Every structure is written in structure tokens, then in C-alpha cells.
């Protein structure tokens, strides 16, 4: 056997060598001795010579190994009390019996008096805490006053030289990565030079639209199918509706026939909740609502004429134009529409007659209802925008709104609720300003007012995640705005507070309605009394000549009473000012 080939390697971990030696280039001058010129004569040169000099002390080679500290993880099981081994701590009767035995001992009180002070000290130490310590590192501290702000993320401009107004905008259902905007020149003087194309934009690419839609006439409204991001429906300037499938090209797949379509511009289109996901309904200024199915789009499946006369005969010539349309998927067959005369209709498609379908009415605005939208969380409450004010309504109060904004100097062009924070809604105005209202913070003024641009804003559509909102203007530009967390995230008690706010305002309006009805009954009884008195005296000529004289006499009585109160108030104020002036003049005199 050859033992020279046998080798064994001894290994040792670096941590067992002790502290590591780190050498550095370091030079230190201990003494600087200058040469003495007197020693030159005694210097003798020896050539050749070799001599070595060692300035430091000579040490022998040695090694030192330090002891390595070893650690071991161990666990301990803590159970209640120090029970004896022969006692079953899980048995309640045995533990109670043992406690009574210990408490009856004479030394029990003295022992407790000795153990209580150190135990109390330990408890107080455990209760002491550092108020500046961040115990939950995964949670970011929230400031007491949250900052409210917004910033413009992207700007999407019309690629055509002739700028057109954006009339509608819709987010795609696939997490809102795209949005479709309908471009239409509503100025009929320049409609000859109008290009009918509209665009689908990618949120991340504001330079060029990802797809151009090419209809045969301008599109007034364009809406994504909530179940399929490739299907869109639109309302055209000719009153027709069209269906789009972006997988098949940039032209409409199918268009309704002119004779079965609207007589005026089709300005509102919304998808409804159906099993097939192919049904939608449209509205127009001609006062008709039509339900469609994209599988058979030549003619509508149902038509409803908004004729407010109390007759079952639907007369299109007497219909009121529809300026806003709303549908909540969670409410089945119910829908809402805003009219050009300021009335909001809450309808039900299941009604047997036309009068039953449009039975509920709200006198919402003094002019056309520009925007109409239900609160995403509190669906019984809806928002109406028109003329110079915005009103919030409840379906339980039909005669008056429960909240409203003060009158604005500039005309309101639209509004919308926030998708995530239910107490926030947005308003766009003619001067290019965006107002953000939060009813939980303040009700008399907006919490944020942003000057978006110098042009007229035309439409606003918040993103489904709530942090973004797309705002369009009259020059064909879309602004994508991002809002702070204070305007998008609900706090812990916000839902309870907003519910209490709505309930309180609803009860207040109900009380006012009850008082108004009571006043009307009193006036009616007074009118009947006056009529009976006239009949007894034989002076009924006024009532025979004018059948509406009863109402006129009652109204005249009310007006006379109001005028008297007004005159008395003016006289009281004038007398007070006169006495004040006389008092001042006497004092100075």
C-alpha cells in the first residue's frame, strides 16, 4: 500500500477563527533625526558591505483562538398558576377546591402582601408605551387633515385640424384601459365641413388613438357593452342607432332603419341588464324611448312616447324631448329620464299602459335636465344638473329635493357621482372649471375647484376605480385627472354619517311637504266657505262667469295677505332706521 496518496483535509468555519485581521497601509513617523555635519570626518566607507537592520522587536510566532459563543433556541410552555402534579388543572372542581384551601391558610394574606408590590411594578412596566413608536410598520400613518388635490395625468387631442366637440365618453369594462369618445360638431352652420369619425383611446398613449371609428354620419353618443369590451353601441345624428364590433373593423356592423328610428338626434344610449347582454335602449329629443336588441337591430323591440298628458294615447307631436337618460343595473326594469322642461321621470318598463310606465314625476330643474345619475351606493338618491344649480333627490320625496348647491355664476354643463366615495360628486361649468363637492365635509361650497382649461367643458366620466376622471371640452380635448385619496377612499364611519345625513334631510322635506298639504287643505276649506257665503247672499255671478274663480279668489287672498306682511315689514324697518337716525342726531346735538 502506498501511504503517500492518502490525504485528509481539515476544514474549519471562518466564524471559529475569531476576529478577522484587516491590514492597512499606515505609516507613522516616531522620530526625525537630522544628520550632524561633525560626524562626517569619522565616517568610513566600506565597500562592498551588506547589513540588515530590524527596527522593531522580534516576536515568536503564536496563535490565539477565542471561545466561540454558541446560541440555542428553546421554547417554554406557560400554563395558569403553579398547580401541584397530582392536581388536574383542567378539572374545574379540583381547582376551585384547591383555591379555597389556599385562601383559608393563615399565611395567605402575608404572602399576597409581599407578592403584590413587585407584580404591580411589572404590570406598570408592561403598560408603559412609547407614544412615538410605530407599532404597525405595514400601515402608513394617516394625517388628521387629509390633503385634497388633483393633477392632470394625460391630455388627448383631436388629430383633425378642425376641432370638434366631444359629446360623450365611455370607459371600457376591462379595468378601464381604454375609453371611447364621440366627436360631433353641434354647430349646424359648420356641419358641412364636419368629419364624422370618432376615436378609441388607450390610456397610456395620448399621442395617437388606438382605433378610429368611421360612421357615415357623426356620432352623438358611444357606449361600451359592460359584458364585452369589443362591442359598442352608438346614437347617430340621423336618429339611428348603430352597433360596432372593433374586431371586425372600424365601420358599424349593423345600423337601424331610418323609418323605425328616432325623428331627431339620438343623444342618449345605455345598455340594460339582460341575460343575453345584447339589449340596450335609446332616447332622443323627439320624446321617444326605444328598446333594441343588437341581434335584430333593424327595428326596436318596444317604444315609449313621453307624453305627459293623462291619456293612454301616445301622441308623438305632444311628447317632451329627452335630454338625459339613466339606468341602474341593480334595479331591474326601472329607468329614469330627464326632460327638456326640467321634469325627471322615474319609469318602469313593466307597466301595462304608457301612463303607468311614466307615473312618477319630479319637478327637478327650471331648464333642461343636463345630467341625471343615481348614487352608486344609495340608489334611492339621484343627482340632477341643470340651469345654474345641482339638486339631490330622494325617491321618498317627490315634491322637493333634499339638498342643493347654491346658484353658480356660470352655466353648468354636467355632473357625475364618484364611483368609490359616495359623498363626492363632480360638476363641470362653462368657464372650464371643475368643482368637486363632498357633502360630508361641507355643503355650501366645493372642497376643490380646478381650472381645467379655458374652453367650455362638455362631459365628465369618472373611472370605475374612482381615482381617475376623464373630462372633455368643446375643442375636442380630453383631460385625464387624478384625484387624491381624500376624494376617492371612504373612511371608517363615512357610510353611517352619509346615511344619517340623507335620512335627516329626507325627514325634513317630508315635514315640509306635510305642512304644505295642510296649508292647502286650509285654503280649500276657506274657499268653500267663501263660496257658501256668496251662495247664501245670492252673489254668485263671479263663480258663474269664471269656473276658475274659486282658485283665483284663494290665490288673491294669499297674495293680499303676503303683500300686507311685506308692507308691514318695510314700515317696521323704515321706522327703526328713522328712530336710529333721530337718536344719532340728538346725541350729536
Asked, for residue 171, whether it belongs to a domain, the answer is: yes
Q: What is the pLDDT of residue 403?
A: 87
Which residues sit opposite 198 in a β-bridge? Answer: 213
Instruction: Give the integer Cα–Cα distance in Å for 522 and 513.
Output: 14
Helix or strand (DSSP H, E) at 288: strand 288-293
Range picked from 135-144, 198-207, 506-515, 553-562 for highest mean pLDDT? 198-207
Helix or strand (DSSP H, E) at 427: strand 424-429
> Does the structure show a pLDDT above 80 at 547?
no
Is there a single domain that holds both residue 419 and residue 515?
Answer: no
Asked, for residue 303, whether it belongs to a domain, the answer is: yes
Helix or strand (DSSP H, E) at 355: helix 354-357
Is there a single domain that holds both residue 484 and residue 525?
Answer: no
Confidence of residue 1 (pLDDT cuts 50, 70, 90): very low
Specify the pairing of strand 381-386 against strand 150-156. unpaired
Cell of 353: 299602459
Instruction: Give the integer Cα–Cα distance in Å for 369 and 394.
Output: 16
> Could you tell me what percent of the chain has a pLDDT over 70?
84
Q: Residue 405: CA atoms inside 13 Å, Cβ hemisphere, count?
A: 27
Return the minimum-mean-pLDDT range out of 256-260, 467-471, 557-561: 557-561
Instruction: Give the integer Cα–Cα distance in Å for 200 and 220.
Output: 14
209-234 b/e with 16+ CB inside 10 Å = b? beeebebebbbbbbbbbeeebebbbb
* SS3 assignment, position 354: helix
319-330 b/e with 16+ CB inside 10 Å = b? bbbbbbbbbbee
Asked, for residue 161, whether it belongs to a domain, the answer is: yes
> Does the structure show a pLDDT above 60 at 52?
yes
Q: What is the pLDDT of residue 585?
A: 37
Q: Which of 471, 491, 511 is the last residue of a domain?
A: 491
pLDDT in tens, 366-391: 888 999 999 988 888 999 998 888 99
Instruction: Give the integer Cα–Cα distance in Å for 142 and 144.
Output: 7
The long-range contacts involving 58-65, CB below 8 angstroms and separated by at least 24 positions, are 64/18, 65/16, 65/17, 65/18
Is there a single domain that holds both residue 217 and residue 286?
Answer: yes
User: What is the residue-wise DSSP string for 218-262?
Assistant: -EEEEEEETTEEEEEEEEETTS-EEEEETTS-SS-SEE--GGGS-
Instruction: Give the integer Cα–Cα distance in Å for 451 and 431.
Output: 8
Q: With contact defined as beta carbons under 8 Å apart, do 344 and 362 qualify?
A: yes
pLDDT in tens, 567-580: 777 667 666 565 55
Q: Which of 432, 457, 491 is the last residue of a domain?
A: 491
Residue 370, domain extent: 150-491
Q: Where are any strands of DSSP class E within 33-191?
A: 150-156, 166-171, 178-183
Contacts of 358 (CB under 8 A, 6+ apart): 304, 306, 308, 345, 347, 351
Cell of 380: 334611492
Asked, for residue 264, whether it belongs to a domain, the answer is: yes
Q: What is the pLDDT of residue 36?
A: 82
Cell of 541: 255671478
Is there a single domain that holds both residue 328 and residue 419?
Answer: yes
Instruction: Give the integer Cα–Cα distance in Å for 346 and 358.
Output: 6
pLDDT in tens, 141-153: 555 567 888 888 8
Q: Which of 457, 491, 525 is the last residue of a domain?
A: 491
Cell of 155: 391630455
Asked, for residue 336, whether it belongs to a domain, the answer is: yes
Is there a single domain that holds both residue 243 and residue 257?
Answer: yes
Rounded mean pLDDT, 29-52: 77
Confidence of residue 589 (pLDDT cuts 50, 70, 90): very low
> Does the structure show a pLDDT above 90 at 229?
no
Q: Residue 122: CA atoms inside 13 Å, Cβ hemisphere, count?
A: 5
Is there a single domain that holds both residue 422 and residue 351?
Answer: yes
Asked, for residue 106, whether it belongs to a domain, the answer is: no
Confidence of residue 66 (pLDDT cuts 50, 70, 90): confident
Is there a single domain that holds both residue 514 and residue 486?
Answer: no
Is there a single domain that holds both residue 455 and residue 543?
Answer: no
Contacts of 396 (CB under 8 A, 6+ apart): 380, 506, 510
Contacts of 375 (CB under 8 A, 6+ apart): 381, 382, 383, 417, 422
Asked, for residue 98, whether it belongs to a domain, the answer is: no
Is there a single domain that holds both residue 229 and residue 252?
Answer: yes
CATH code: domain of residue 456: 2.130.10.10
Is there a single domain that holds both residue 546 and residue 498?
Answer: yes
Cell of 172: 371600457
Instruction: Give the integer Cα–Cα distance in Å for 113 and 131.
Output: 33
Helix or strand (DSSP H, E) at 94: helix 92-103
> Does the structure show a pLDDT above 80 at 322?
yes
Q: Residue 583: CA atoms inside 13 Å, Cβ hemisphere, count?
A: 6
Rounded mean pLDDT, 46-68: 74
- Which has the higher per-residue pLDDT, 78 or 517? 517
Instruction: Give the integer Cα–Cα distance in Å for 558 and 552.
Output: 10
Describe the crossing of helices 494-537 and 549-588 by its angle, rounded to 10 degrees. 110
Confidence of residue 471 (pLDDT cuts 50, 70, 90): very high
Q: What is the pLDDT of residue 436?
A: 92
Asked, for residue 518, whether it belongs to a domain, the answer is: yes
Rounded mean pLDDT, 270-293: 88
Is there a single domain that holds both residue 334 and residue 399?
Answer: yes
* SS3 assignment, position 483: strand
Q: Residue 481: CA atoms inside 13 Å, Cβ hemisphere, count?
A: 28
Domain count, the chain: 2
> Does the structure show a pLDDT above 90 at 84?
no
Is there a single domain that holds both residue 471 and residue 529?
Answer: no
| Residue showing cell 369590451 | 229
Amino acid at each position: 500500500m502506498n501511504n503517500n496518496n492518502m490525504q485528509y483535509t481539515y476544514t474549519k468555519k471562518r466564524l471559529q477563527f475569531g476576529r478577522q485581521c484587516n491590514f492597512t497601509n499606515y505609516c507613522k513617523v516616531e522620530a526625525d533625526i537630522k544628520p550632524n555635519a561633525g560626524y562626517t570626518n569619522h565616517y568610513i566607507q566600506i565597500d562592498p558591505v551588506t547589513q540588515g537592520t530590524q527596527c522593531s522587536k522580534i516576536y515568536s510566532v503564536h496563535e490565539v483562538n477565542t471561545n466561540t459563543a454558541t446560541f440555542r433556541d428553546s421554547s417554554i410552555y406557560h400554563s395558569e398558576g403553579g398547580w401541584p402534579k397530582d392536581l388536574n388543572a383542567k378539572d374545574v372542581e379540583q381547582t376551585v377546591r384547591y383555591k379555597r384551601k389556599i385562601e383559608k391558610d393563615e399565611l395567605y394574606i402575608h404572602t399576597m402582601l409581599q407578592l403584590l408590590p413587585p407584580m404591580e411594578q411589572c404590570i406598570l412596566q408592561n403598560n408603559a408605551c412609547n407614544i412615538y413608536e410605530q407599532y404597525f410598520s405595514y400601515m402608513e400613518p394617516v394625517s388628521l387633515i387629509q390633503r385634497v388635490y388633483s393633477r392632470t395625468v394625460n391630455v388627448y387631442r383631436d388629430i383633425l385640424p378642425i376641432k370638434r366637440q366631444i359629446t360623450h365618453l365611455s370607459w371600457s369594462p376591462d379595468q378601464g384601459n381604454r375609453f371611447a369618445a364621440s366627436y360631433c360638431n353641434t354647430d349646424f352652420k359648420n356641419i358641412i365641413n364636419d368629419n364624422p369619425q370618432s376615436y378609441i383611446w388607450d390610456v397610456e398613449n395620448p399621442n395617437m388613438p388606438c382605433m378610429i371609428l368611421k360612421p357615415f354620419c357623426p356620432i352623438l353618443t358611444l357606449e361600451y357593452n359592460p359584458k364585452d369590451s369589443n362591442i359598442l353601441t352608438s346614437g347617430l345624428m340621423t336618429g339611428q342607432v348603430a352597433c360596432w364590433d372593433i374586431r371586425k373593423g372600424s365601420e358599424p356592423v349593423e345600423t337601424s332603419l331610418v323609418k323605425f328610428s328616432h325623428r331627431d338626434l339620438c343623444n342618449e344610449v345605455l345598455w340594460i341588464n339582460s341575460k343575453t347582454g345584447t339589449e340596450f335602449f335609446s332616447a332622443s329629443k323627439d320624446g321617444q324611448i326605444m328598446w333594441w336588441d343588437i341581434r335584430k337591430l333593424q327595428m326596436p323591440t318596444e317604444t315609449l312616447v313621453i307624453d305627459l298628458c293623462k291619456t293612454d294615447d301616445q301622441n308623438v307631436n305632444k311628447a317632451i324631448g329627452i335630454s338625459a337618460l339613466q339606468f341602474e343595473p341593480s334595479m331591474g326594469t326601472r329607468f329614469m329620464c330627464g326632460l327638456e322642461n326640467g321634469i325627471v321621470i322615474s319609469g318602469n318598463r313593466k307597466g301595462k299602459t304608457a301612463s303607468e310606465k311614466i307615473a312618477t314625476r319630479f319637478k327637478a330643474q327650471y331648464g333642461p335636465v343636463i345630467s341625471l345619475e343615481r348614487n352608486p351606493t344609495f340608489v334611492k338618491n339621484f343627482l340632477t344638473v341643470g340651469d345654474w344649480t345641482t339638486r339631490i333627490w330622494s325617491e321618498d320625496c317627490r315634491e322637493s329635493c333634499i339638498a342643493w348647491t347654491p346658484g353658480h355664476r356660470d352655466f353648468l354643463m354636467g355632473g357625475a357621482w364618484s364611483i368609490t366615495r359616495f359623498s363626492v360628486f363632480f360638476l363641470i361649468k362653462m368657464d372650464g372649471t371643475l368643482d368637486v363637492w363632498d357633502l360630508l365635509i361641507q355643503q355650501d361650497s366645493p372642497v376643490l375647484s380646478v381650472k381645467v382649461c379655458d374652453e367650455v367643458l362638455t362631459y365628465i366620466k369618472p373611472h370605475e376605480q374612482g381615482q381617475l376622471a376623464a373630462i372633455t371640452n368643446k375643442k375636442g380635448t380630453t383631460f385625464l385627472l387624478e384625484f387624491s385619496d381624500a376624494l376617492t377612499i371612504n373612511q371608517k364611519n363615512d357610510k353611517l354619517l352619509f346615511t344619517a345625513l340623507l335620512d335627516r334631510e329626507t325627514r325634513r322635506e317630508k315635514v315640509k311637504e306635510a305642512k304644505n298639504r295642510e296649508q292647502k287643505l286650509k285654503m280649500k276649506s276657506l274657499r268653500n266657505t267663501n263660496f257658501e257665503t256668496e251662495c247664501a247672499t245670492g252673489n254668485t255671478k263671479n263663480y258663474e262667469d269664471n269656473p276658475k274663480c274659486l282658485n283665483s279668489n284663494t290665490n288673491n287672498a294669499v297674495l293680499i295677505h303676503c303683500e300686507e306682511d311685506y308692507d308691514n315689514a318695510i314700515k317696521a324697518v323704515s321706522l327703526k332706521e328713522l328712530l336710529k337716525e333721530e337718536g344719532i342726531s340728538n346725541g350729536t346735538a
